[in-house]
Structure 1
Amino acid sequence: MSLDKILSIATKPGLYQMVTQTRAGFVAVSLLDGKKMTVNLKSNVSVLSEIAIYTLQEEMPLLEVFKKISIKEGANKTSISHKADKLALEAYFFEVLPNYDEDRVYASDIKKVIQWYNILQANDLLDFSEPTEAAEKSAKPVAKALTSTAAPKSVKPSAKNSSSKASSAAKGGGKTSKAAVKK
């Protein structure tokens, strides 16, 4: 499975897999305990396929980082816990990705990457095969739905109201408010 339906929800531990969309958000299943929950579109949600790690040259997609971890670990869980100290995490990540930007990638980011890799590996969701065109097309609406907001659209004035003639209120006709009369 690709990372297009795997989500990280702010203030919630672990990762979630999107099941279906609803009118006000979507239904997700926790990869830690299997519990279903509804998530509002106003929640801060990140799709793992949209996340990248800063390197000295360019940003590297998270899937590529997971591939490098998988190669290093032989498709097993990481040899280091995400709860290890900062220096151990940075040393491990330097082995995996030697050109990562140490100024912009913090220890907390490395913890998340290691924890996410272990969760995906435990749930057998690490698939590094190339996605098919059908899978890519079905994943794009998911990412678009998660990034859209429920803000109402602004209403533009109609072309009728923007004529060259002045309105009757501007000519002195029509009702005036008390605030306009009061001096």
Structure 2
Amino acid sequence: MLKTILSISGKPGLYRLLSSGKNTLIVESLQTKKRIPVLPKDRVVSLGDISMFTDGEDIALSEVLTRLHEKQAGVAVSEELLKDSDALRNSFGEVIPNFDRERVYTSDIKKLYTWYNILIEAGITDFADQDEAE
């Protein structure tokens, strides 16, 4: 599922890939449902390609989101937590106890939690990729 969810540099929020042409992607905002073209000059990253640094092997974002979903019991992360950097790092430590505290910045955790909230609001709760499931 996360392979079709995109983050576009310079544009807020997350986008669902609808179709791709020769030089353009057509995406839909998960929040506003507005469709826009994405040109080759835009930097696009699939959430399925992202992983988090740990003290051992890196963990795929799908696994991190699944663990966060279990910790939160399917509820969005509170806005108050997103404002407190120490509480944010402590909360993430409960989700991924062995995350690399030097290479994972508070801004990365905040972005992850914001993405999680967007996915929950859009009704996306299955974070496993099809390749992982097989």
The question of a shared fold, defined as TM-score above 0.5 by the shorter chain, is answered with: yes
Secondary structure in structure 2 of the residue aligned to 1:8: strand
Task: Tell me by how many angstroms 1:124 deviates.
Answer: 1.0
- Indicate if the aligned counterparts of 1:19 and 1:28 stay in contact, CA closer than 8 A: yes
Query: How high is the TM-score relative to the length of structure 2?
Result: 0.91
User: Is residue 43 of structure 1 aligned with residue 42 of structure 2?
Assistant: yes
- Indicate if the aligned counterparts of 1:81 and 1:114 stay in contact, CA closer than 8 A: no
Q: How does 1:91-130 map to 2 (within 5 A)?
A: 91-128=90-127
Distance 1:132 1:52, change over 3 A: closer
User: Is residue 63 of structure 1 aligned with residue 66 of structure 2?
Assistant: no
Partner amino acid, structure 1, of 2:5: I
User: Is residue 85 of structure 1 aligned with residue 102 of structure 2?
Assistant: no
- 1:33 paired residue number: 32
Matched residue pairs, number?
A: 134
Percent of residue pairs identical: 38
Distance 1:34 1:82, change over 3 A: farther
Structure 1: which 5+ runs fail to align?
137-183
Distance 1:132 1:56, change over 3 A: closer
Task: Tell me by how many angstroms 1:114 deviates.
Answer: 0.2
Q: Which moved more, 1:78-87 or 1:39-48?
A: 78-87
Secondary structure in structure 1 of the residue aligned to 2:59: strand
- Indicate if the aligned counterparts of 2:7 and 2:15 stay in contact, CA closer than 8 A: yes
Secondary structure in structure 1 of the residue aligned to 2:82: coil
**Root-mean-square deviation (CA), in Å?**
2.1
- Indicate if the aligned counterparts of 1:51 and 1:62 stay in contact, CA closer than 8 A: yes
Task: Tell me by how many angstroms 1:76 deviates.
Answer: 1.6
Secondary structure in structure 1 of the residue aligned to 2:130: coil
Secondary structure in structure 2 of the residue aligned to 1:46: strand
Structure 1: distance between partners of 2:9 and 2:123: 23
Task: Tell me by how many angstroms 1:81 deviates.
Answer: 4.8
Structure 2: which 5+ runs fail to align?
none
Identify which of structures 1 and 2 has the higher relative contact order when contacts are C-alpha pairs closer than 8 Å and 6+ apart: 2
